[in-house]
Amino acid sequence: MKLMSGNSNLPLATEIAQYLGIPLTDASVKRFADDEIFIEIHENVRGEDVFVVQSTSHPANDNLMELLISIDALRRASAKRITAVIPYFGYARQDRKPGPRTPISAKLVANLITEAGADRVLTVDLHAGQIQGFFDIPTDNLFGAPVISEDIIKRHSDKDIMVVSPDVGGVVRARALAKRLDNAPLAIVDKRREQAGVSEVMNIIGDVKGRFCVMIDDIADSAGTLCNAADALIAAGATDVAAYITHGVLSGKAVERVNASSLRKLIITDTIRTPQSALDSDKIRVLPIAPLLGEAIKRIADESSVSSLWD
């Protein structure tokens, strides 16, 4: 087995390598004067089971091209099997046509990865479960819930917890977490999104008065929804609000919004390399996802069950 990494999240790839007890494959990523990407693998991978770790986060297009070129280089070097390990799958929010003459970019990216030569995909908390069906190769979608629920139980088991979905679309995810927390009660924030990146909280469905509210979602991008929801929950009588997010995109002024919000804590995993501004914030904490990914990689290589990881 070989483990290779692009530049998008080298710290995570290093932690996965430490978990597996193997070194990262010696490879270099260079750029020509016009910013074309060139990748060279400096060791033999012929007949090997190779896992390429690369989140397609910001800059999404550069990181996606690094992934595609890495897969192509491995295919041409006669790797036996190539698994694209994509902790954060970019373009996942473009999973349907929201209007006329718009693309389904998630499907396009799935086609590109497949055509580049990937034999398998491993990812974490896809924004929409149906994206698994966009791939014509085996795709394992890990869930962050086991890591998140373990942290909640460890830190907040003495509190009167209520799990909150920040929108109607996330109810399934919130219900799954509530089940792990001894069937904790569930609330939903009803919001209306007037335009991309701007949300307005309309109503709280459920009685949150006197409860410690735990919001759960897959992506925090501008963090506007989370901060608005936290304010609404506090106004509705919640004693405190924490948010657990798998993918901390945290673009623009997201960290500033979190710091100024009613959130007690924002807990993210490191599927995306955490910006320094977030690491410096007292309100943001990072959960390591490397053990979950490392164990999944080990089981894929051993041809054993991956689904039992979240049973």
Active site residue 191: yes
Of 20, 17, 38, the closest CA to residue 29 belongs to 38
Side-chain-side CA neighbours of 228 within 13 Å: the count stands at 20
Torsion angle of the four alpha carbons 111, 115, 116, 117, in this order, in degrees rounded to the nearest 10: 120
Single out the catalytic residue among 30, 97, 191, 298. 191
CA 27 to chain centre: 25
Q: Which runs of consecutive H residues, i.e. helices, occur in the chain?
A: 10-20, 60-76, 105-116, 145-156, 171-180, 224-235, 254-260, 276-279, 290-302
Find out whether the peptide bond into 87 is cis, omega within 30 degrees of 0: no
Gap between the Cα atoms of 63 and 69, Å rounded:
10
CA 122, 108, 25, 278 dihedral sign is negative
Please enumerate in sequence order all residues whose Cβ is within 8 A of that of 280, keeping only pairs 6 or more positions apart, or say none: none
Residues across the chain = 311
Sort 263 into a burial class: Cβ within 10 Å, 0-12 / 13-18 / 19+: buried
Of 146, 107, 152, the closest CA to residue 125 belongs to 146
Gap between the Cα atoms of 72 and 27, Å rounded:
14
CA 50 to chain centre: 21
List residues with catalytic annotation.
191
